[in-house]
Structure 1
Amino acid sequence: MRGTPVAEATVAVPLWAWAAVGGVLAVLLTVDVVAHRDNHVIELREALLWSAVWVGAGLLFGLVVWWGLGGDPAIAYFSGYLLEKALSVDNVFVFALLFGYFRVPAGYQHKVLFWGVVGALAFRLLFILAGAELLDRLAWAGIVLGAFLVWTGWRLAVRGKPDVDPERNRAVRLFRRVVPTDASYHGDRFTARVGGRRVATLLLVALVAIEATDVVFAVDSVAAILAITTNTFLVWTATAFAVLGLRSLYFCLAGLLRHFGHLRYGLALLLAFAGSKLILAETPVGKLPVWLTLAVVVLTLAVSIASSVVAERRARTGG
């Protein structure tokens, strides 16, 4: 039987709060579009600045949750936010691989990532609503979802890198079969007129590849956050504010990820922990306290990053 829901799972959020958050997200996305409308190459300094903006927005919203809803909901939000941020590292690996495969010019990468993030937000909202409904209606759904997360964590720990092959991507193959495409770029346009007909450019094909692979990551990350709380407002806002910073995170970390070799094991542990939480919630143990989740997330990330730095330093010095 499901454990007694904690405070953050029973908080009622009015419709106007959803509308207000949607308005804030729309404003932030509009500012981002205007700031990058000239398709300039994103340098590290600019990426770090935007990362600070997005992280600041996410943390500020967490304080709003604390002020408006209380401590437990705020801890649940911060736990979900940190977990989604951590799991986004895998997305960065895949983005780098896909951009390299399609040879996406550096100046157009932000545009592809922007629309990729918009699609990611839409898919995650659907998964959140469906997942929360399943967990609420079907007692065994938590066990199945928990087992899936444990298996995903094990797979992440044993594989060497994300298993992504654009040539075998079913969504890309179907898109190319159904939609006329041109194997070249036409500036920053997603469609162009070639030979008297409208066709999709290679930039749009790259976007389809990113959206298709992100759906797989969305299933993992949404399931992991639902293990923390089934309050759809908290899950959605934590996910949204974390995903919004994914573009700047890519430009910050794309060239640095090779230095964090142990981070993958930390992410695998977090997925397995989230899965175990879902399974335990269906037993007499019940739901683990949200403060414990936050502590596990922070400690796991800190240890995996620190051990990566130490291992990298030893490798350079031969120690």
Structure 2
Amino acid sequence: MIEVSAGAWAATIVLIIGLFALDLVVAVRKPHHVGMKEATFWSVFYIMVALLFGLAVLAFAGSTAGTEYYSGYIVEKSLSVDNLFVFVIIMARFEVPDLYQQKTLLFGIAAALVLRVILIAIGGAAISLFSFTFLIFGLVLIWTAIQLVRHRNEEPDVEDNFLVRRARKLFPVSDDYHGGRMLAHEGGRRVATPLLIVFVAIGSTDLLFALDSIPAVYGITQSAFLVFTANAFALLGLRALFFLVEGLLERLVYLTIGLSAILVLIGVKLILLFLHEDVSKSIPEIPTPLSLVAILLILVVTTIASLMRVRAHPEEKAKPGSLRKPKSSQEEESAAG
């Protein structure tokens, strides 16, 4: 595990906060519709920043740390594409105007990063205290993969979310967006605009994804610094990537299967790591460079197979998948009663 000085931590955190501030200025300074040219520019910009940071890790911490960072970043970026599926559903469900989509996405992503930092700290503490944490993480990832495959043609219910339900109970929800504010006044009372509900839905949905992605990246590296930076740089630029791939996501019909294969791979890697450390040193581990090659291969095959399938069957549309079967209308009415 690499040793990271307090100065390096501080410099990295300042860099990430600065990049989020830049994204905030771009998104909030003048609300506007994001075109393909702008979305492409910012998506490439943030990917290049992430790749350059990896070169810095290679230079200062060595090839092993660099390989672990790039592997973690690719896993997190791949899983974040599935997040975008759900973001598209949320935006459509609440009919968010183009002018306000950037702001909502960015605040939701910022909240998600804060929540992920907490989960990273909890995960790191659990690993240092309990050796069987790797086994639990591995089993969770394999279970998640199985659930995603089982429900790959379904969409998660964005309203069936504890935090969204609580937000609706705390404030009456207005039909008006009130110029992009999250809270406003109507008839002498404080109300929530739909943007607040969307913000809560995006942040809490990403938290659910983090329950899988954090164990996944810990399966590649046990360095909290690399886990944090892989997550942060994967989330950076997600706002622009949303507008870039919004129309392309439905063509990736095998994405859920590909992501499930990646989760199984990392789950097996974690279980083997546990067995190697706690049972017998003769039990082999999966090297990180091999994991990186396998992950890239899965993503390439998934993308090519998806495009070939859609070309032959243009009526097929991709779904983000769900970890459980959505409630039926009868179940929803029963729960409401």
Q: SS of the counterpart of 1:175?
A: helix
> What's the CA shift for 1:166?
2.9
SS in 2 for 1:59: helix
**Secondary structure in 2 matching 1:90:** helix
Unmatched tracts of structure 2, length 5 or more: 277-282, 315-337
List runs of 5+ in structure 1 lacking aligned partners.
1-9
User: Match for 2:56: what amino acid?
Assistant: V
Per the alignment, residue 294 of structure 2 pairs with 296
Q: Which residue, 12, 29, 51 being the options, matches 1:21?
A: 12
* Match of residue 30 from structure 1: 21
What's 1:311 paired with?
309
SS at match of 2:126: helix
Residue 142 of structure 1: aligned partner: 134
Q: Distance in 2 between matches of 1:204 and 1:184?
A: 12
Aligned residues: 308
% identity of equivalent residues: 39
Distance 1:288 1:60 in 2: 26
2:37 and 2:154 map into 1 onto residues whose CA distance is: 28
How many angstroms does 1:183 deviate by? 3.4
What's 1:261 paired with? 253
CA shift, 1:35, in A, is 2.0
Q: CA RMSD in A?
A: 1.6
- The answer as to 2:81 corresponding to 1:89 is yes
Cα distance, 1:143 vs structure 2: 1.0
Tell me, what secondary structure is at the counterpart of 2:34?
coil
Question: Which deviates the most, 171-180 or 87-96?
Answer: 171-180
Are the equivalent residues in 2 in contact too, given 1:41–1:106 (CA < 8 A)? yes
Give the Cα–Cα distance (whole angstroms) in 1 for the partners of residues 175 and 312 of structure 2: 45
Q: Distance between the aligned counterparts of 1:178 and 1:263, measured in 2?
A: 37
* Structure 1 residue aligned with 2:177: 185
Matches within 5 A, 1:74-113: 74-113=66-105
1:271 has 2:263 as partner: yes
> 1:286 offset after TM fit, Å?
5.5
- 1: distance between equivalents of 2:185 and 2:129? 50
Equivalent residues of 1:84, 1:242 under 8 A apart: yes
Q: Which residue among 61, 73, 76 is the counterpart of 2:65? A: 73
Q: What amino acid does structure 2 have at the position aligned with 1:122?
A: V
The one-letter amino acid of 1:13's match is V
Aligned partner of 1:223 in structure 2 is: 215
SS at match of 2:275: coil
**Which letter does structure 1 place at the counterpart of 2:119?**
F
With CA pairs under 8 Å and 6+ residues apart, which has the higher RCO, 1 or 2? 1
